[in-house]
Chains A and B, each alone.
Chain A
Amino acid sequence: MFLVPLEEKEFRERCSQCAAVSWGLTDEGKYYCTSCHNVTEISKEVISTAAIPNTKINAINRGLKKKRKFEKGWDWYVCEGFQYILYHQAEALKTLGVGPELKDEVLHNFWKRYLQKSKQAYCKNPVHTTRRKAKVLEDNLCHSDWASELELLSEADGPLESGTEVQSDFEIPTHFPITKAAQSASVCSGSLDGVEYSERKEKGIVKMTVPRTLAFCYLSLLWQRETITLSDLLRFVEEGHIPYINAFQLFPEEMKLYGRDKGIFAIESWPNYEEIYKSMIEIATFLDLPRFPEVTEGCYLHPNILCMKYLLEVNLPDEMHGLTCQVVKMTGIGEVDFLTFDPIAKMKKTVKYDVQALAVIVVVLKLLFLLDDNLEWSYSDLAEAYNEEHKKDKPWFDFRKWYQIMKKTFDEKKQKWEEARAKYVWKSERPLYHSHIDKPVVYKRREMVVNLQKQFSMLVDPTPVVEKKGPSSFQFNWTEEGTDRTCFHGHSLQGVFIKKGHSLITKNSLYWLSTQKFCKSYCKHVTTYEESNFSLSYQFILNIFSFLLRIKTSVLHEEVSLIEKKLFKKKYSEAKKNSSGSKKVRR
């Protein structure tokens, strides 16, 4: 062990409050002034994790600390915590280029509506009966409407609710009276209603969770018809552009979190597409939102535009866009009514715009190349031969070459992605503990980990850390110069068409359906995806496309099947009649 004489390391500055130079150490290793008890932000660098007995350092008696206001922190409610997170997420979206109305109007209104519907504010008889003057968010949120929120929270509709009389109106567990709750709350959670909140199970009320904050964000984005899809949003979260994991770190220091708050605000997983998608519908229904602004042909979320975007992203010829548009038209998935989200409608369903667009591309690839592990390769031979002979012309699209490049690029990308995930720092600088007894242990652990991390980071070469990429809706840039990756955007589809009369028709006239029979039971999934039942080309395409959106392959498969269902409506109804449908459908 290497002990440095304390004299050398000691903190020698004057106290900012009383100008004395007389420092002691608190339990957390921070300096405090022994004459005026002012605690600094400067903490002593602990060389050894073992307790160093030293008469020069006087630890503050814990009993004394408890009484201090600083330690106790502000009184705050759980919903304020979520409001904080939403606020910061909206700020982050704004920096990503989303219009300011999203934060100031849309999300704000949704949130107000939520507080009202869940009877937390803007209503008679809000759940919070403990009155107090809250000024938690004022300092930070004074530039927007958000600041008034809290006043509303605490002062809403004064006359009706005055203390304990209205309590009985609410489903607060009877064995857990509010007065007791308030008392024990100081033991079991930092927020006033943390314990109560985590135990509340009211029917018909959608409880706020951290993942649901993202559902709120997405609803607002959808309302504004912004150019961010759900998969983009979740990817930005994973890349750290939008606060989510450890978002509670953004709370002011005076908002203490512990005990039950941990279960409410601590998150150990990245958001999941399906889950957020479901919550979004759930919340929209709960909030009783009207029909959303229409998604028309000019909107980013329209399949024609998204298909164009994803064709660029997956390095396929621009010429394919005409075909995707045809499929969109034939299936009717470009219709305004289909695309616009209407929570009030009977079928409370919205479109997974991003998944759907990629599914359309899969269908077009199947139409062109069949993807039966055979035809696509023989077409590739033709294209290769043609390109060999006509080096100066616009090259034909060569599926094999495309496969090779995509495989290599995606494998590399996936590898890097996995490495980055493995290195992800989950633990917050503000550790969460169960109770005051637990606190010193947890803080000591944290300190230990930080020290160890310091030690190991010294062993890592100070070579420039991979420059952090700015947020972008594109993950690949195929036109970038200086790479050996071919860009297929300008390649031609001539090779897979033949002339018939005045028009071109595809050489391939066969098709196979991704799903023959849809599941009609109440299990809620329409089809299943058993990888080994499908051709390798199909598997490959589903794999890379779903990686692009960070979704499960089965989700994309389902979407492909749904589009086929619309495209081959007749075939399906025929198959129903004489249940012996052949696998291959002739168009």
Chain B
Amino acid sequence: MGLDFSEELRKPVTEDEQMETSMLSAKGMHFPWLQKQLETVVTGGKKKKDFAQTTRTCLSFIQDALLKHQWQQAAEYMHSYLQTLEDWDSYKKQAAPEIIWKLGSEILFYHPKSNMETFNTFADRMKNIGVLNYLKISLQHALYLLHHGMLEEANRTLSQAETWRYGEKSSSQEILINLVQAYKGLLEYYAWSKKKMELSKIDEDDYAFTTKSRNMLSQSWKTSVNFCALIKTPGVWDLFVKSYVEMLEFYGDQDGAREVLTNYAYDEKFPSNPNAHIYLYNFLKREKAPRAKLISVLKILYDIVPSHTLMLEFHMLLRKSEKEEHHKLGLAVLFGVLDFAGCTKNITAWTYLAKYLKQILMVNHLSWVQEEWKSRKNWWPTFHFSHFWAKSDWKEDSDLACEKALVAGLLLGKGYRYFRYISKQDHEILRKKIKRMKKSVKKYSITNPVV
């Protein structure tokens, strides 16, 4: 279930975690066997109470059972682990609810005998043990309800959490409240987008249209308030940002949308996030922004994820540019894409590369090609151009094989096995293409002696 976001939140560090991080040396090495010894060090030689010892073993048994998906066994041990809620050690007593919530929700999520009702009862009980866990558990409870398609209940849980306060608003509480609000916003967005769908089906002249659209207007305002606070906090909020921008755009607030996206992509306090740049690029594309602007956005994405599919678009943009350095970068981008195993069969990439290589060599930019090839000549031949690949590419997709053969010929010469294998094939439709290919290789291959 969606427990993953909790990592982003600041959580009270439990004893174990402290122990583990303390064992992490600068180079990230750690000694698992130290843990046991450290434990005794912590207690300063004083004998631990058996209660502490057995509950600790109990915890490890539960973790073990969870790992092996033995839900029943886990529930059995959980029964006795619940005692830690009554620990006389106040520190441990305070830490217990969170551990129990995490283990318990996991068990109840998967246990075959568990159901919605059990889970809800459990969540409600856990929320009210101590004040520290209310928000976090409410949020995870809501996610569970969402997972089961119970939107209204989830919304109600979130609303309850939103209005909940304890003492002064601490920083950890604040981010949780923001998150609660943002999830509420997300639910509202969902309702909104459903209405939008309905609206698109109604005739504009209809009376119902005006009332409905007015409804939507008021809703969006509420939602934006919900999203705002969270989006300003550093973090990865893709889902929220996307929904927010969609709503802003729908109501014609282009400036607002641009600001949100620009901030999300460029604010240095935020973690590096490829999606932020993708959203911004797509937005700018829709806006028909100038090419230079688009190139600058994709340049950042290129630095983070050189294998992204948008890189082919990036290549085309660079080719169309007037600057020579952009043309050179365009070549590097293509090579970069094909460095990745996931892209080896991307025919567009190969077609682009074949065409562009030929074009570049025709205008005598041999040094550009050599520069890119230098770091790859050791491994590309076996990675892309082995005899095995020649055979299987030809069998699976002869068009791809032809493009690759041209690239192989241009880079490795006409004597290379991949090129030789393909050029020897007899194919009615591709005969002409292969002939042209042979010609190009003969003329432009970088292995040709310099005339």
Contact = CB atoms under 8 A, between A and B. Distances in A.
Contact of A448 (B49, B51, B120, B125): B125
Interface in B105-144: 107-108, 111, 113-114, 117-118, 120-122, 124-125, 128-129
A363 B104 CA distance: 51
Interface stretch (A78-86, A283-291, A416-424): A416-424
B50 A268 contact: yes
A448 B50 contact: no
Given A48-B124, A50-B124, A460-B76, A449 B58 contact: no
A422 B88 contact: no
A49 B97 CA distance: 14
A445 B124 contact: no
Interface in A436-461: 442, 445-446, 448-449, 451-453, 455-461
A268 B49 contact: yes
Interface string B63-96: 0000000011001111110110110100000000
A449 B118 CA distance: 15
A449 B107 contact: no
A70 interface: no
A523 interface: no
Contacts of B114: 459
A49 B80 contact: no
A53 to B, nearest CB: 14
Contacts of B85: 445, 448-449, 452
Contact of B124 (A49, A270, A425, A442): A49
A46 B51 CA distance: 28
A416 B49 CA distance: 21
Contact of A424 (B54, B122, B128): B54
Nearest to B129: A448
B58 A269 contact: no
Given A269-B51, A459-B107, A419 B61 contact: yes
Interface residues of A, number: 34
Contacts of B213: none
Interface residues of B, number: 39
Contacts of B78: 456
- For A424, A446, A451, the residue with the greatest tally of chain B CB atoms inside 10 Å of its CB is A424
Interface string A393-431: 000000000000000000000000011011111110001
A456 B50 contact: no
B82 A456 contact: yes
Nearest to B85: A449
Interface in A203-245: none
Contacts, number: 104
Nearest to A451: B125
Contacts of A269: 47, 49-51
Contacts of A345: none
Contacts of A419: 61
A422 B80 contact: yes
Interface centre among A270, A445, A448, A451 (most CB of B within 10 A): A448
Nearest to B113: A459
B102 to A, nearest CB: 14
B367 interface: no
A2 interface: yes
A318 to B, nearest CB: 37
A455 B122 contact: yes
Contacts of B79: 423, 453, 456-457, 460
A49 B50 CA distance: 30
B57 interface: yes
Given A49-B124, A421-B57, A458 B113 contact: yes
A230 B246 CA distance: 76
Given A427-B83, A445-B85, A452 B54 contact: no
Contacts of B61: 419, 422
Main secondary structure of the interface of A (DSSP, over half): loop
A48 B47 CA distance: 39
B72 A460 contact: yes
A1 interface: yes
Contact of B120 (A1, A446, A458): A1
A182 B51 CA distance: 33
Given A445-B86, A449-B83, A459-B72, A426 B122 contact: no
Contacts of A457: 75, 79
Nearest to B88: A268
Contacts of B54: 421-422, 424, 426
Contact of A49 (B75, B88, B100, B128): B128
A270 B61 CA distance: 21
Contacts of A445: 85-86, 129
A459 B71 CA distance: 9
A452 B85 CA distance: 11
A49 B57 contact: no
A453 B75 CA distance: 9
A449 B121 CA distance: 13
Given A50-B128, A268-B51, A452-B125, A423 B113 contact: no
Interface in A49-81: 49-50
Contacts of B76: 423, 456, 460
A423 B83 contact: no
Contacts of A1: 120-121, 124
Interface centre among A423, A431, A448, A456 (most CB of B within 10 A): A456
A443 to B, nearest CB: 11
Contacts of A431: 86
B124 A423 contact: no
A454 to B, nearest CB: 9
A461 B113 CA distance: 10
A430 to B, nearest CB: 12
A59 B443 CA distance: 99
A448 B96 CA distance: 13
Nearest to B76: A460
A65 B128 CA distance: 27
A154 to B, nearest CB: 33
Contacts of B100: 452
A2 B58 CA distance: 31
Given A422-B77, A423-B77, A456-B78, A270 B57 contact: no
A448 B71 CA distance: 22
B80 A424 contact: yes
Interface string B327-360: 0000000000000000000000000000000000
Given A449-B82, A456-B78, A457-B79, A2 B49 contact: no
A422 B83 CA distance: 11
A422 B82 contact: no
Interface in A1-30: 1-2
A2 B121 contact: yes
Contacts of A461: 72
A1 B71 CA distance: 24
Given A422-B57, A449-B85, 7 more contacts: A268-B52, A269-B49, A423-B77, A425-B80, A455-B125, A456-B75, A456-B104
What 8 pairs between A and B have smallest CB-CB spacing?
A459-B75, A268-B51, A422-B58, A269-B50, A268-B49, A422-B57, A423-B80, A456-B79
8 contacts: A49-B128, A421-B50, A425-B80, A425-B83, A449-B86, A452-B82, A452-B85, A458-B118
